[in-house]
Amino acid sequence: MAPKKSDPNNKIAAENRKARFNYEVLDTLEAGLVLTGTEVKALREGHANIAESYASVEGGEMWLINSYLPEYLQANRFNHEPRRRRKLLVNKREMARLAQHVDREGMTLVPLKLYFNDRGRAKLQLAVARGKKLHDKREASKQRDWGREKARLLRDRG
């Protein structure tokens, strides 16, 4: 059963739109997050930012570092810290595999999007990625521009 478009539980809270431009995505993975109540409420408002964040494996646990979840205004003194490290819930085998990629091959773990699944749980889509060089970025930009131009030409002629 496909989720409805108007389903409030299944929505994107934050998206890292620059990630696919700056990195070559090799593999993706869905991970859960350990959040406090005010963090979940702030996420539902949709003002989170994961553009400058990354994930790392430390001490047998995976952490999301440098993500920004703004304070929930109605929470006064029970609020959370906006840039705290958040624990990611990942299977041990998957975590070992990701750590191996990062250590051996020089890849990074980049968050692509932060969203709520159909059960209302906050999930993070992580990517195993390799940084692109400047000439690769130029080539991707050229390809994208040519695709737009080609679509424009075909639309005007047809």
Q: Please report the DSSP string for 96-116 in residue order.
A: HHHHHHHHHH--EEEEEEEEE
Instruction: Find the radius of gyration of the CA atoms of the chain.
Output: 18
Give the phi and the psi of residue 121 in degrees, each rounded to 5.
Answer: -90, 140
pLDDT recorded at residue 32:
92
Neighbour count for residue 52 (Cβ, 10 Å) = 12
pLDDT recorded at residue 30:
92
Helices and strands: H and E segment counts in the chain: 4, 7
* C-alpha to C-alpha distance for 130 and 107, rounded to whole angstroms: 5
Strand partners for 30: 125
pLDDT recorded at residue 58:
87
What distances in angstroms separate CA 11 from CA 36, 92, 100, 105, 133, one per listed residue?
A: 19, 27, 32, 33, 32
Q: What is the pTM of this model?
A: 0.75
pLDDT recorded at residue 1:
46
Tens digit of pLDDT per residue, the chain (158 long)? 454 555 555 588 888 888 887 888 888 889 999 988 888 888 888 888 888 888 888 888 899 999 888 888 787 787 878 888 989 999 999 888 888 888 887 788 899 999 998 888 889 999 888 887 787 778 888 888 899 998 998 888 87
The answer for residues whose C-beta is within 8 angstroms of residue 5's C-beta and 6 or more apart is none
The answer for residues whose C-beta is within 8 angstroms of residue 144's C-beta and 6 or more apart is none
User: For 48, what's the count of Cα atoms within 13 Å in the CB-facing half-sphere?
Assistant: 31
The topology (CATH level 3) of 12-132 is Small Protein B; Chain: A; (2.40.280)
Which residue shows structure tokens 């975590």?
Answer: 95
Terminal CA-CA length for the chain: 37
Give the phi and the psi of residue 147 in degrees, each rounded to 5.
Answer: -60, -40
